[in-house]
Amino acid sequence: MSKAKNIEETRVQALNGTENSETTEPVSKEIKAPKKSKTIKNDEANVVGDVTTNNIQKSNLAKKKLQTLPGKKTLKKSVTVKKETEINTAVTEKNAKKEDTAKSAKEKILAKKEPAKVADKKAAAKKTVEKKAEISAAVKVTFVVRFHTKHGQSLYISGKHPVFGNDEIAAALPMQYLNEELWTATIDLDKNDLPKEGVVYNYLLKNDDGSLSYDWGSDKVLTAELFTSEDILIIDSWNFAGYYENAFYTEPFKNVLLKQNYTPVKITAPKTYTHTFKVKAPLLKKGETLCIIGNDVALGNWNEADVVLMNKKEKEDFYAAKINLSKAWFPIVYKYCVYDIGSNKIIRYEDGNNRILYDAFVKNKKTIVNDGFAVLPANTWKGAGVAIPVFSLRSKNSGGIGEFTDIKLLVDWAKSVGLKLVQILPVNDTTATHTWTDSYPYAAISAFALHPMFLNLAKAAGDIYADLLKDITEEQLRLNKLEAIDYEAVNNLKWNFIKQLYPLQKKTIFASADYKQYFELNKHWLVPYAAFCYFRDKYSSADFNTWQSHKNYNAEEAALLLEPSAKSFDEIAIHLYVQYLLHLQLKEAAQYAHDNGIIVKGDIPIGIYRYGADAWQHPELYHMDMQAGAPPDDFAVTGQNWGFPTYNWEKMKEDGFAWWKQRFEQMSYYFDAFRIDHILGFFRIWSIPTHSVEGIMGHFEPSIPVHIHEFNQKGIWFDYTRYCKPYITEQLLDNNFGDQKDHVKYTFLNYDGFGRYQVKPEFATQQKVESYFSWQQDNDHNRWLKKQLFSLLSNVILFEAEGSQGQQFHFRFGIEDTISFKELDAHLQYQLKELYIDYFFKRQDNFWMYGALQKLPALKRATNMLVCGEDLGLVPGCVPEVMRQLGLLSLEIQRMPKDPKRTFFHPADAPYLSVVTPSTHDISTIRGWWEEDRNLTQKFFNDELGQWGAAPYFCDAWVNKAIVVQHLYSPAMWSIFQLQDILGSDRKIRRPNPHDERINVPANPKHYWRYRMHLTLEDLIKANEFNTEFAANIKASGRV
């Protein structure tokens, strides 16, 4: 049995805490909510008493009735429900008309006999109605939620209304413990105080340690139309964020991928009803709806010909049905079923045991039963997508680089082969130096602004100014023929043209209503960004610390600079103009994708550029004295230093992570889903002092350091110099520097008189060494020497924690590889390694988990996009659990297994809420990897592909195709491929040299990002033989 199947079976068992017809207690536990609290799953039995009267009917007679009720029925031929419904409706309407006619005739007679008397009665009746309406505005609302808590936990209701604390956690409405499975709260609410759109509310779990967990979703809504009685009972189900079904209520599925499945169902609600049943089922097909069947006459008495049909309004989440249970003998037993509209019959019952509702009929009371999700398979939808940076796209009309308009052609091709998703890298402006070093897409000078190089000039010019393009046509053609991007030439071409176009269009654009709306929505970042660009160019540097003025952002001064009468106006406003044009072009491309049934997935970098508009505007939100990066791994043996400042999460939390919420909102203009780059950074970030160059000099922040007492407790004599200073001996200098040893000793070191050397103060940090060599000749020898000196400085065991006064320490990553550690005696090595393992892999886990749960839930609630996390690298043990709790999709890469005991990860073992891929932009493509390590390739060929004999030296097309197909058949929700890996499956269409396909080399911080497709999108669309075969593989795998 596959792992995926086991997971789904576990889920179904968990969902079906529903009681069967022979018991009145839940028969199964279910998936636990955060903090391992047992949730009474949305599909469980509604074991709810009438909390308004405390009248739970559990008489012996009721129990006897339950024991004799039928359970789940087998499917059989049914009478046409639709016809019966129509007949009953017609009869009801006919009788109503007769009654109205008779009543009208009677009134006419009375009017003739006693006109004054009748008039007086009508006036009195009108006053009575008005008085009743006035009284009925005040409604008693009782909330009941099914949730099993443990000692120390408590539940609250939060929402944007004063009675719920206006979304302030401290002011949330407390609930009362009713019994071990139920919590309740009762309020008096004036329905006239409710806004037209209603009030969204959620349940909130507060744990004994102060941590919080939210009931998920925004579909629990109080509206005035619900209050049709003086007494309302709302029975809710806690919605655990990790349920698979929640993914299908995110924007990409609701608005694009599942939109066509909506089926309108016409049903006639009874004039009098006591209960409203609500339930969700996201994966029903076109022509299907839900129905209810149960043990009461009003529920069909288990007769499949008399089921109660449910309907769902377009763009709403719940299927609903109003039922009159005033004569029902509670408790009632029922089930939801999938119903085919065309054949008028039940297709299947929901899985699990019957549901049970304990309640009692009370006059002037209405009950709303929110059953969460119908218990139906929720892991059956699967899609495939393509990943490629926008800059890598090539069309016949692009200007040497991919543009937003080229996304439409990519969508055309994706649609033709059956792909459902287009994934791109960050598209933010990275212009810091106006050189090719700005090609790094993760070093944006603004987390909001789009890069001007993606602007299509012809579309910007329009028909009116199309003649201007003639002057740049020759250069565009030259750039478009290049194998790789010429970053500087492309940007120069585009900016020169923009500067010609701006004076001609600015008046019309700035006066347009659409631009004014765009500006108002985005001015919080747009104005600072435009002003930043102005000063960057004015002072020829993005480092605002070096500017002669305006080193600190001032909103009032920026506003003055943007006054139309200011000399600086045009030099600043041109950036507003360009951002608006970019916004229109990307928005149009995204809408085109939606219109063709395809979603667009963006990428949110974990960091911000140190010398960018965000840091200039809000320096308090970042730790400017630290650098973000990653610890050493097989791909970067000295770690990675991205140079970004780390986040000041405590400061960000003060305003509810407003900066992040604004960032997500801006992303939602264009994207349906997004990848959080290095999601581990929300747990802890690899933090490197600014005086260091290599990532290996960092440590995790936040983290619990090792106290000096811990060394003493293990009997380790603490030698600060030995552990915390570079360990440099004569032998080490011989081995590392050879005939350069004397030069190194004389220039960089001091002898300490005890057989060891110390680094001179002027070279005591990697940054000082870097500065020294920046003045030396740039040649191979000096680059080698600098690298060796970096290695010398990193030859330590511990880093002293800042501000600890020699009392607390962080272990250097990979101490076992240092000469300093290797020259300790074996016993001391063993003792230090024990502390090292505890420091990195044990003591931090709960601490990091708690920290992540302070940030990620709040951020995920700020958007309804589908969120995927790049959870690669040194993954803490708590990360998979937090991602599961929040329903975040993980990333699974075949050659980067998360299980350290395995050499490869098999796509068949992927969890459903995940993205599987054979490669990413940070590693080589399938073909490139195949040639990197012959032994590894051979093992993969035999063990993962199941092939006998020697592996081909080069990755033949059939091997590439086998790997792609392997991923298509994975149980993961998404299989996403780099375009290079897709094309590699066909020898006729793929690029000759696989090493020209790699996008990034993480070990090289100065890598030039310039990869382009080797064929145009127009030619790819015409590759009929290849496209037909690829489309057939996608369809056969069930990813449609």
pLDDT, tens digit (0-9, with 9 covering 90-100), for 424-445: 999 999 999 999 999 999 999 9
Task: Tally the domains of the chain.
Answer: 3
Alpha-carbon distances, residue 954 vs 939, 960, 963 (angstroms)? 15, 10, 14
Q: Specify the pLDDT at position 191.
A: 83
Identify the domain boundary among 354, 377, 400.
377
φ, ψ of residue 471 to 5 degrees: the values are -70, -20
Confidence of residue 127 (pLDDT cuts 50, 70, 90): low
Evaluate the CA torsion angle 219, 224, 228, 233 in order and state its sign: positive
Alpha carbons 793 and 802: distance in angstroms, whole number:
18
Question: Residue 101 domain-assigned?
Answer: yes
DSSP class of 550: -
| HEC string for 941-986 | HHHCCCCCCCCCCCCCHHHHHHHHHHHHCCCCCEEEEEHHHHHCCC
Chain segment 515-540, per-residue pLDDT in tens? 999 999 999 999 999 999 999 999 99
Q: Specify the pLDDT at position 22.
A: 31
Q: Specify the pLDDT at position 80.
A: 30
Q: Specify the pLDDT at position 136.
A: 55
Express as a percent the part of the chain with pLDDT over 90.
80
Burial 235-267 (b: 16+ CB within 10 A, else e): bbbbbbbbbbbbbbbbbbbbebbbeeeebebeb
Alpha carbons 851 and 359: distance in angstroms, whole number:
42
Q: Are the C-beta atoms of 926 and 918 separated by less than 8 Å?
A: yes
β-pairing, 154-159 vs 173-174, is antiparallel
| Residue 358 and residue 232 share a domain | yes
DSSP class of 930: H
The beta strand positions in 110-227, using DSSP E, are: 138-146, 154-159, 173-174, 176-179, 182-190, 199-206, 212-214, 221-222
Alpha carbons 621 and 647: distance in angstroms, whole number:
6
Greatest C-alpha distance within the chain:
127
Chain segment 667-693, per-residue pLDDT in tens? 999 999 999 999 999 999 999 999 999
| Residue 455 and residue 323 share a domain | no
Q: How many degrees, rounded to 5, is the angle at CA 813 between CA 812 and CA 817?
A: 100
Q: Specify the pLDDT at position 122.
A: 52
| Cα–chain center distance at 28 | 31
Look up residue 587 and give its amino acid: K
CB atoms < 10 A from the CB of 328, how many? 21
Alpha-carbon distances, residue 584 vs 459, 604, 672, 831 (angstroms)? 10, 20, 17, 62
| Residue 335 and residue 305 share a domain | yes
Beta-carbon contacts of residue 1038 (< 8 Å; ≥ 6 apart): 382
Q: Specify the pLDDT at position 742.
A: 94
Q: How many degrees, rounded to 5, is the angle at CA 197 between CA 191 and CA 200?
A: 80
CB atoms < 10 A from the CB of 969, how many? 17
Task: Indicate if the pLDDT at residue 103 is higher than 50.
Answer: no
Of the candidates 438, 425, 569, the one whose C-alpha atom is nearest the C-alpha of residue 510 is 569
| Residue 336 and residue 450 share a domain | no
Q: Which residue in the block uniquely carries the two structure tokens 């004389």?
A: 746
**Mean pLDDT to the nearest integer, 295-314:** 95
Alpha-helical segments (H) within 539-619:
555-561, 569-595, 613-617
Q: Which residue in the block uniquely carries the two structure tokens 């129990």?
A: 63
Question: Residue 577 domain-assigned?
Answer: yes
| Residue 115 and residue 170 share a domain | yes
Q: Specify the pLDDT at position 124.
A: 52
**Mean pLDDT to the nearest integer, 876-890:** 94
CATH number, domain containing residue 546 = 3.20.20.80
Q: Specify the pLDDT at position 210.
A: 84
Look up residue 436 and give its amino acid: W
DSSP class of 336: E
Question: Residue 83 domain-assigned?
Answer: yes
Beta-carbon contacts of residue 76 (< 8 Å; ≥ 6 apart): 304
| Residue 317 and residue 425 share a domain | no
Alpha carbons 707 and 835: distance in angstroms, whole number:
11
Burial 85-120 (b: 16+ CB within 10 A, else e): beeeeeeeeeeeeeeeeeeeeeeeeeeeeeeeebee
Q: Specify the pLDDT at position 123.
A: 53
Alpha-carbon distances, residue 774 vs 768, 771, 779 (angstroms)? 10, 5, 11
DSSP class of 260: G
Listing DSSP states for 286-330 in one string gives: TTEEEEEEESSGGGGGG-GGG-EE-B--TT---EEEEE--TT--S
Q: Specify the pLDDT at position 66.
A: 41
Confidence of residue 120 (pLDDT cuts 50, 70, 90): low
Q: Which residue in the block uniquely carries the two structure tokens 């009370």?
A: 362
Q: Which residue in the block uniquely carries the two structure tokens 């299927």?
A: 319
Rg, the chain, Cα only: 34
Q: Which residue in the block uniquely carries the two structure tokens 């330590």?
A: 796
Alpha carbons 725 and 720: distance in angstroms, whole number:
8
| Residue 112 and residue 154 share a domain | yes
Tokens of 116: 């004054």
Q: Are the C-beta atoms of 394 and 1017 separated by less than 8 Å?
A: yes
Tell me if residue 154 falls in helix, strand or coil. Answer: strand
Beta-carbon contacts of residue 778 (< 8 Å; ≥ 6 apart): none
**Mean pLDDT to the nearest integer, 454-466:** 97
Q: Is the peptide bond before 174 cis (omega within 30 degrees of 0)?
A: no
Q: Specify the pLDDT at position 129.
A: 47
Alpha carbons 173 and 782: distance in angstroms, whole number:
67
Question: Residue 887 domain-assigned?
Answer: no
Tokens of 230: 């003086």
Q: What is the mean pLDDT of the chain?
A: 88
Burial of 809 (0-12, 13-18, 19+ CB in 10 A): buried
Tokens of 641: 């230093």
Domain span including residue 830 = 706-841
| Residue 91 and residue 18 share a domain | yes
Q: Are the C-beta atoms of 757 and 745 separated by less than 8 Å?
A: yes
Identify the domain boundary among 798, 821, 841.
841
| Residue 337 and residue 396 share a domain | no
Question: Residue 661 domain-assigned?
Answer: no
Question: Residue 879 domain-assigned?
Answer: no
Identify the domain boundary among 377, 407, 442.
377
DSSP class of 54: T
Question: Residue 1015 domain-assigned?
Answer: no
| Residue 402 and residue 304 share a domain | no
| Residue 7 and residue 45 share a domain | yes
| HEC string for 666-698 | HHCCCCCEEEECCHHHHCCEEEEECCCCCHHHC
Q: Which residue in the block uniquely carries the two structure tokens 């993961």?
A: 972
pTM of the model: 0.85
- What is the chain's length? 1040
Q: Are the C-beta atoms of 192 and 224 separated by less than 8 Å?
A: yes
Q: Specify the pLDDT at position 161.
A: 93
In the beta sheet, which residues pair with residue 383? Answer: 974
Q: Are the C-beta atoms of 293 and 302 separated by less than 8 Å?
A: yes
Chain segment 615-632, per-residue pLDDT in tens? 999 999 999 999 999 999
Q: Is the peptide bond before 331 cis (omega within 30 degrees of 0)?
A: yes
| Residue 820 and residue 732 share a domain | yes
Express as a percent the part of the chain with pLDDT over 70.
87
Of the candidates 583, 630, 256, 309, the one whose C-alpha atom is nearest the C-alpha of residue 448 is 583
Question: Residue 205 domain-assigned?
Answer: yes
